[in-house]
């Protein structure tokens, strides 16, 4: 099934919840209303003809100019060998979206990573902790305006260039 | 149960909490499990990752497209070639760059050699983890030859920086092609030797058969990829099903788990898929050596590489499965965002579920059979 058809059926079943289909790009994507993401994912996963059994990837993009953080879902179906990309726009100052952990189990870890590096809160997540960075790390490194703290736990995060060190 | 409280330290019914790693030999790098056990039976094994986080994704936003290729090597040091290729494929697609035909063949040859090397490490250390010391040495001996070949091809033994945007860095010389042919003649019988030594070993089979079974549904839900997915009986290979490079022209089988000693999707199936994939890689290599055309190895690519705004998610079939590079461009010289999706990360997330109720010693078999690679998890 191609992106046009997927978009058309979603638009019929969830009126007003999907928008902005970009079909002419390499990988067509569509925007999903953040309140409907779980419903739509559950539908796409199990409805015959769609059968998106796997969540290939879940990540986020930071757009400071538009004041938004986008969560990007890459869905894939082994049964039909087709894929679709869903995007959810969140307010940058308070990014919150419901978890899709109950649809695909792998979302648990993907969402933890997005929380860790972007600070997106996934509501209803069973274990939302940092995964890559220490629990007491300050800030979300993959945001565009991230400034690294000067030291962590008494250890400097900066290092003088090697040449300077040798000349000293 | 007795009425009186047992003596302190004896026969309590509390769970034990054991920290496995971060320097445990079976963890292949630096990762840790907090294991709760009831006697020897695991009730919970919580993975703790992040020790090797090097923020490769953030670095991607700070360097140019050409400059990022060496960084991708570091995502998975056992199979650096595939990360090179996935990133270059994404960049090429965004900019509409063509890859020369000889370049594509060089890529496939380098990748398949790398796949054999990576699987050798995987099956070798797997044997070692569960007590078979000798096969590891045999596997590393063969891998050494591949490393030498790689050194001849691109000058590096682990972090290659060989595949560049538009093709490959250096052409593969005819002498090297001859050496690869010799290596294949030597290596194909070695696989049989390896099978006699390890795969058919009674103790090895009994340690693995029926242990840590992953059902097809779980494999989908946890997004297992590559040999782990095929071990559960799903015939799916990106090289065959979402073809890229010159793979559509090559003939090869996609091995899947067959449950010949235990249940479908057990540790042995995952191991056996890797052994047979090495044989398939040999087949692919032989065809490539024959079909390789003459011509330039790399196409003309501008030094200032600025793809137009857009995004692409490139997938390749790495030894640890579907490796995805999601590259977003905003039209500038630097990628706006690079996201690396790796097979080990998702394989790691299933351990919590599968390890419930298995023996502590089987946890080692589970980790080994999933072939998780710590730097690839943490990136």
Question: Is residue B231 situated within a structural domain?
Answer: yes
Residue B8 pLDDT > 70: no
Question: Is residue B164 situated within a structural domain?
Answer: yes
Short-list A82, A94, A81, CA closest to A6: A82
Residue A78 pLDDT > 50: yes
Average pLDDT for A19-39? 81
B351 to chain A, closest Cα gap in Å = 11
B220 to chain A, closest Cα gap in Å = 6
Question: Regarding predicted confidence, which is higher, B200 or B277?
Answer: B277
Question: Is residue B130 situated within a structural domain?
Answer: yes
Average pLDDT for A88-110? 89
Cβ contact B345–A74 (<8 Å)? no
Contacts (Cβ under 8 Å, ≥6 apart) of B335: B60, B61, B65, B68, B327, B328, B329
Contacts (Cβ under 8 Å, ≥6 apart) of A33: A16, A17, A18, A19, A88
- Tally of CB atoms within 10 A around B15: 15
If pLDDT is split at 50, 70 and 90, which confidence band does B327 have? very high
pLDDT score at A39: 86
C-alpha to C-alpha distance for A122 and A106, rounded to whole angstroms: 14
C-alpha to C-alpha distance for B299 and B107, rounded to whole angstroms: 14
Residue B5 pLDDT > 70: no
Q: Which residues of chain B make contact with A81, given a CB cutoff of 8 A?
A: 241-242
Residue B322 pLDDT > 70: yes
Question: For the domain that residue B110 is a member of, what is the CATH number?
Answer: 1.10.645.10
If pLDDT is split at 50, 70 and 90, which confidence band does B27 have? low
What is the pTM (predicted TM-score) of this model? 0.87
Q: Find the range with the poorest average confidence among A96-100, B210-214, B314-318.
A: B210-214
Residue B282 pLDDT > 80: yes
A74 to chain B, closest Cα gap in Å = 9
C-alpha to C-alpha distance for B248 and B258, rounded to whole angstroms: 25
Question: Is residue B2 situated within a structural domain?
Answer: no
Host domain of residue B114? 48-378
- B119-129 pLDDT, tens digit per residue, is 998 888 888 88
SS3 A66: coil
Domain count, chain B: 1
Question: Is residue B331 situated within a structural domain?
Answer: yes
Cβ contact A132–B378 (<8 Å)? yes
SS3 B5: coil
Question: Is residue B90 situated within a structural domain?
Answer: yes
**CA distances in angstroms from A101 to A69, B93, B294, listed in the order given:** 20, 32, 51
Which uninterrupted H or E stretch holds A41? helix A37-46
Q: Which residue of A has its CA nearest to B62?
A: A144
Q: Which of B49, B241, B336 sits opposite A81 (nearest CB)?
A: B241
Cα angle B233, A1, A8; round to 5: 140
Residue B58 pLDDT > 60: yes
Q: Which residues of chain A make contact with B310, given a CB cutoff of 8 A?
A: 25-26
Average pLDDT for B285-294? 89
Cβ contact A54–B220 (<8 Å)? yes
Q: Which residues of chain B make contact with A133, given a CB cutoff of 8 A?
A: 50, 53
Residue A25 pLDDT > 60: yes
Q: Which of A66, A100, A106 to mutate to test the interface with B (most CBs of B within 10 A)?
A: A106
Here the ipTM equals 0.85
């Amino acid at each position: 099934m191609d992106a046009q058809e997927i978009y058309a059926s979603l638009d019929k079943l969830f009126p007003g919840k999907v928008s902005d289909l970009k079909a002419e790009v390499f990988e067509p994507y569509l925007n999903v209303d953040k309140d409907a993401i779980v419903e739509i994912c559950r539908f796409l996963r199990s409805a015959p003809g769609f059968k998106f059994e796997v969540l290939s990837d879940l990540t986020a993009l930071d757009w400071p100019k538009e004041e938004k953080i986008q969560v990007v879902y890459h869905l894939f179906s082994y049964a039909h060998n087709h894929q679709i990309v869903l995007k959810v726009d969140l307010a940058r100052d308070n990014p919150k979206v419901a978890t899709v952990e109950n649809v695909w189990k792998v979302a648990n870890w993907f969402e933890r990573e997005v929380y860790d590096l972007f600070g997106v809160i996934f509501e209803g997540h069973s274990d939302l902790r940092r995964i890559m960075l220490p629990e007491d790390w300050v800030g979300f490194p993959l945001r565009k305006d991230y400034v690294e703290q000067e030291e962590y736990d008494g250890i400097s995060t900066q290092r003088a260039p090697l040449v300077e060190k040798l000349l000293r | 149960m007795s009425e009186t409280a047992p003596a302190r330290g004896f026969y309590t019914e509390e769970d034990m909490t054991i920290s496995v790693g971060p320097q445990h030999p079976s963890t292949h790098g630096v990762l840790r499990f907090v294991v709760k056990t009831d006697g020897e039976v695991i009730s919970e094994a919580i993975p703790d990752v992040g020790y090797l986080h090097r923020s490769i994704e953030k670095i991607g936003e700070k360097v140019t497209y050409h400059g990022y290729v060496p960084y991708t090597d570091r995502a998975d040091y056992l199979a650096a070639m595939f990360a090179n290729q996935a990133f270059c494929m994404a960049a090429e697609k965004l900019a509409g760059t063509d890859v020369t035909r000889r370049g594509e063949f060089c890529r496939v040859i380098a990748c398949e050699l790398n796949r054999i090397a990576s699987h050798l490490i995987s099956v070798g250390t797997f044997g070692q983890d569960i007590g078979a010391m000798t096969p590891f040495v045999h596997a590393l001996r063969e891998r050494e030859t591949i490393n030498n070949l790689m050194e001849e091809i691109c000058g590096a033994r682990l972090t290659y920086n060989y595949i560049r945007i538009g093709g490959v860095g250096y052409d593969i010389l005819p002498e090297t092609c001859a050496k690869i042919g010799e290596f294949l003649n030597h290596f194909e019988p070695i696989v049989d030797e390896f099978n006699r030594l390890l795969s058919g070993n009674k103790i090895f089979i009994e340690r693995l058969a029926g242990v840590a079974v992953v059902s097809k549904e779980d494999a989908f839900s946890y997004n297992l990829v590559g040999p782990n997915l095929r071990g559960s009986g799903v015939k799916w290979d990106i090289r065959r099903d979402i073809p890229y490079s010159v793979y559509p022209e090559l003939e090869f089988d996609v091995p899947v788990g067959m449950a010949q000693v235990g249940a479908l999707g057990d540790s042995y199936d995952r191991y056996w898929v890797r052994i047979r994939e090495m044989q398939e890689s040999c087949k692919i290599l032989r065809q490539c050596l024959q079909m390789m055309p003459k011509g330039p190895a790399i196409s003309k690519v501008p030094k200032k590489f600025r793809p137009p705004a857009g995004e692409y998610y490139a997938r390749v079939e790495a030894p640890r499965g579907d490796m995805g590079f999601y590259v977003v461009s905003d039209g500038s010289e630097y990628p706006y965002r690079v996201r690396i999706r790796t097979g080990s990360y998702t394989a790691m997330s299933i351990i919590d579920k599968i390890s419930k109720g298995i023996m502590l010693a089987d946890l080692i078999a589970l980790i080994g059979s999933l072939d998780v690679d710590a730097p690839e998890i943490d990136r």
